[in-house]
Amino acid sequence: MIELFYANTPNGRKIPIMLEEIKYPYKINLVALKEGAQFDSKFRSISPFSKIPVITDHENNVSIFESGAILIYLAEKSGKFYDKSNRILINQWLIAQVAYVGPLLGQHHQFHHYTPGKSQWGEDRYFKIAKTIYKDLDERLEKSKFLAGNEYTIADIATFPWIARHPIHDIGLKNFSHLSRWYKDISEREAVIKGYDCLNTGEKIPKI
């Protein structure tokens, strides 16, 4: 049994999607971020930066923080979505997501969506970067079916929930035909639909 410490944010959603894809049973512990539950000392003992997601794998008696590390752990354990012969490429696209795509789109969320009017500089800067990320992903997906080649991998699982925030990005996903094709394909996967709504609240993946 995997215990998942979760909130329904883009980083959070990566993990139930992966768990559904590999068909592992899991139990969700909701971490109420708005109420500051991430700063609880018990939670901090498994998450030193006070962030979700975290998993505890009771079979191996191990807890793992950082979404990329969790995806790699689950991929190695299940033998899925992390083909040994393609790891150089998968690692690049996975690390690009956790180190660049996520954090920078996250800043765009903050300045453009959550605190508009606070800083024109911040709004302009991260809007421009977010548009560049869309363009660069689109260019990649023109050449490649999935981010790391022909197969769906943990790099796609990591990136998808960030693009699923496209309605608040105001960039126009539909204008990026290759990124849209990739998004639509992934959003129709049964495991992705289930993992996205892992709290069973009827939440739907935003359409293009």
Ligand X SMILES: N[C@@H](CCC(=O)N[C@@H](CS)C(=O)NCC(=O)O)C(=O)O
Q: State the residues that interact with ligand X by CB under 6 A.
A: 9-12, 33, 38, 50-53, 66-68, 98
Which C-beta is closer to ligand X: that of 67 or that of 153?
67
Cβ atoms 205, 192 nearer than 8 A: yes
CA distance 77 to 23: 12
Tally Cβ neighbours within 10 Å of residue 161.
Answer: 26
| Angle at the Cα of 74 from the Cα atoms of 69 and 79, rounded to 5 degrees | 125
Q: Which of 9, 107 has the CB closer to ligand X?
A: 9
Residue number with CB closer to ligand X (11 or 187)? 11
d(CA 50, CA 9): 14
Cβ distance to ligand X smaller for residue 5 or 152: 5
Minimum separation from the CB atom of position 177 to ligand X (A) = 28
Q: How far is the CB of 64 from ligand X (least distance, A)?
A: 10
Dist CA 161 CA 71 (whole Å): 14
Q: Are strands 2-6 and 54-57 parallel, antiparallel or unpaired?
A: antiparallel
List Cβ neighbours of 79 (8 Å cut-off, separation of 6 or more): none
Please state the closest distance from residue 138 (CB atom) to ligand X, in A: 23
Min dist CB 150 to ligand X, Å, is 26
Task: Output 90 or 180, the one with its CB closest to ligand X.
Answer: 90
Minimum distance, C-beta of residue 37 to ligand X, in the bound complex (Å) = 9
Q: Which residue's CB is nearer to ligand X, number 24 or number 43?
A: 43
Q: Using CA atoms, how far apart are residues 64 and 106, in angstroms rounded to an integer?
A: 22
Rg, C-alpha atoms of the chain: 17
Q: State how far the Cα of 71 lies from the Cα of 59, in Å rounded to an integer.
A: 17
Minimum distance from CB of 174 to ligand X (Å)? 25
